[in-house]
Chains A and B, each alone.
Chain A
Amino acid sequence: MSENVARRGFLVGGAALLAAGCTSNEPAAAPTSSAPAPTAAAGGNDQPGDRVVIGFSAPAADHGWIAAIAKNAETAAKQYSDVEFKPVEPTNDINQQISAVESLIAAKVNALVILPNDGQQLNQVALQATAAGIPVVNLDRVFPNKLAYRTWIGGDNYGMGVAAGHYIGEQLKSKNVSNPVIVEIQGIATLPLTQERSQGFADALKEYGFSVTAKQDAAFTVETGNEVATSLLQAHSKIDAMWNHDDDQGVGVLAAIKEANRSEFIMVGGAGSANAMREIQSGTSVLQATVTYSPTMASSAIKLARLIAQGKGMSDLLEKQVPQSITLASETITKDNVADYMSLGFES
Chain B
Amino acid sequence: MSEPTKSQAPVGEGRAGPLGATVPALRGLGEMRHVGLIGALAILVVVGLVTRPDNFATASNLISILSLAATIGVITVGATFVIIGGGIDLSVGAVMALASVWATTLATQSYGPVVMAICAVIVGTGAGLVTGWLIAYGRLVPFIATLAMLVAARGLAQRMSDRKTQLIQPENSALVDLSTTRVLGIPLLVYIFALVVVLGWVLLNRTTFGRRTYAVGGNPEAARLAGIDVRRHTMLLYALSGLCCGIAAIIIMARTTTGSSTHGDLYELDAIAAVIIGGTLLTGGRGTIIGSILGLLIFTLITNLFILNGLNTSDQLIAKGLIIVIAVLLQRRNLKERAP
Measured in the bound complex, the distance between the Cα atoms of B309 and A277 in whole Å is: 32
What's the Cα separation between A63 and B176 when bound, in Å? 23
- Chain B's nearest CB lies how many Å from the CB of A15? 18
- In the complex, A263 Cα to B58 Cα: how many Å? 19
Per-residue contact bits, chain A 109-129, to B (CB 8 Å; 1 contact, 0 not): 000000000000000000000
Tell whether A62 pairs with B163 under 8 Å between CB atoms, given A234-B308, A235-B310, A237-B55: yes
Name the residue on A nearest B309 (C-beta): A235
A217 at the interface (CB under 8 A from B): yes
Those of B85-114 within 8 Å (CB) of chain A: 105-107
Query: B55 touching A234 by the CB < 8 A rule?
Result: yes
List residues of chain A with CB within 8 A of the CB of B313.
Answer: 189, 216-217
Question: Is A29's beta carbon under 8 Å from chain B?
Answer: yes
Kindly supply a per-residue 1/0 record for chain B positions 143-179, scoring 1 wherever the CB is within 8 Å of any chain A CB and 0 otherwise.
Answer: 0000000000000001011111111000000001001
**In residues 224-252 of chain A, which contact B (Cβ within 8 Å)?**
226-228, 230-237, 248, 251-252
Best-buried of A32, A60, A61, A219 by chain B (most CB within 10 Å): A32
Q: How far does the alpha carbon of A147 sit from the alpha carbon of B64 in the complex, in Å?
A: 52
Are A223 and B167 closer than 8 Å at their CB atoms?
no
**B241 in the interface, Cβ–Cβ < 8 Å?**
no
Query: Does any Cβ of A come within 8 Å of B264's Cβ?
Result: yes
Of all chain B residues, the one with the shortest Cβ separation from A255 is: B257
Q: Once the chains are docked, how many angstroms separate the CA of A255 from the CA of B176?
A: 9
Instruction: Find B64's partner among A29, A31, A63, A234 (CB 8 Å cutoff).
Output: A234
**In the complex where A32-B166, A230-B67 touch, is A222 in contact with B310 (Cβ < 8 A)?**
no
> For the complex, is A347 an interface residue (Cβ under 8 Å from B)?
yes
- Report Cα–Cα, A61/B159, bound state, in Å: 11
Complex: A74 Cα to B135 Cα, angstroms: 43
Chain B positions within 8 Å of A60 at CB level = 163
State in angstroms the CA–CA spacing of A228 and B310 once bound together: 11
Q: Is the CB of A29 within 8 A of B310?
A: no
CB-CB contacts below 8 Å: B42-101 with A: 52, 54-55, 58, 60-61, 64, 67-68
In Å, the complex CA distance between A327 and B67 comes to 42
Contact between A223 and B61, CB atoms less than 8 A apart: no
Q: A18 at the A/B interface (Cβ < 8 Å)? A: no
Tell me whether B255 and A255 are in contact (CB under 8 A). Answer: yes
B152: min CB distance to chain A, Å = 14
Whether the pair B167, A221 counts as a contact (CB closer than 8 A) is no
- A69 CB to closest chain B CB, in angstroms? 12
Closest to B71 in A: A223
Given contacts A61-B163, A189-B312, A255-B179, contact A232 B265 (CB under 8 A): no
Q: B180 an interface residue at 8 Å Cβ cutoff?
A: yes
**Could you tell me if A221 and B260 are in contact, using CB atoms closer than 8 angstroms?**
yes
Asked whether A64 and B165 contact (CB < 8 A) given A221-B265, A234-B61, A234-B304, the answer is yes
If the complex has contacts A223-B256, A251-B167, are A31 and B106 also in contact, measured as CB distance less than 8 A?
A: yes
Asked if B307 is at the interface of the complex by the 8 Å CB criterion, the answer is yes
A28 within 8 A of B: yes
Please determine whether A223 and B68 come into contact, CB atoms closer than 8 angstroms.
no
> Which of B162, B252, B261 has the most chain A CB atoms closer than 10 A to its own CB?
B162
Verify A32–B68 contact, CB threshold 8 A: no
Within 8 A of A (CB), among B242-292: 252, 255-258, 260-265
Does A348 lie at the interface of the complex (its beta carbon under 8 Å from any beta carbon of B)?
A: yes
Report the minimum CB–CB distance from B310 to chain A (whole Å): 5
Does B234 belong to the interface (CB within 8 Å)?
Answer: no
Give the complex CA separation of A255 and B260 in angstroms: 14
Q: Is B187 an interface residue (CB 8 A)?
A: yes
In the docked arrangement, what's the CA distance between A254 and B309, Å? 22
A62 touches B256 (CB 8 A): no
Is the CB of B303 closer than 8 A to any CB of chain A?
yes
The residue that B107 contacts in the complex, of A31, A215, A223, A275, with Cβ under 8 A, is A31
The 9 lowest CB-CB distance pairs between A and B, nearest first, are A231-B307, A221-B262, A61-B163, A235-B308, A234-B61, A348-B165, A255-B257, A31-B106, A214-B310
Other contacts beyond A61-B163, A235-B308, A259-B67: 19, CB < 8 A: A28-B162, A62-B261, A62-B262, A63-B163, A64-B163, A67-B163, A67-B164, A216-B313, A222-B263, A230-B68, A231-B64, A231-B68, A234-B58, A235-B52, A255-B179, A255-B257, A256-B255, A260-B60, A275-B167
- What are some 14 contacts across the A-B interface (CB < 8 A)? A31-B105, A32-B166, A62-B261, A64-B164, A67-B162, A223-B264, A226-B256, A231-B68, A231-B307, A236-B55, A255-B257, A256-B255, A259-B255, A348-B165
* Chain B residues within 8 Å of A, Cβ to Cβ: 52, 54-55, 58, 60-61, 64, 67-68, 105-107, 158, 160-167, 176, 179-180, 187, 252, 255-258, 260-265, 303-304, 307-310, 312-314
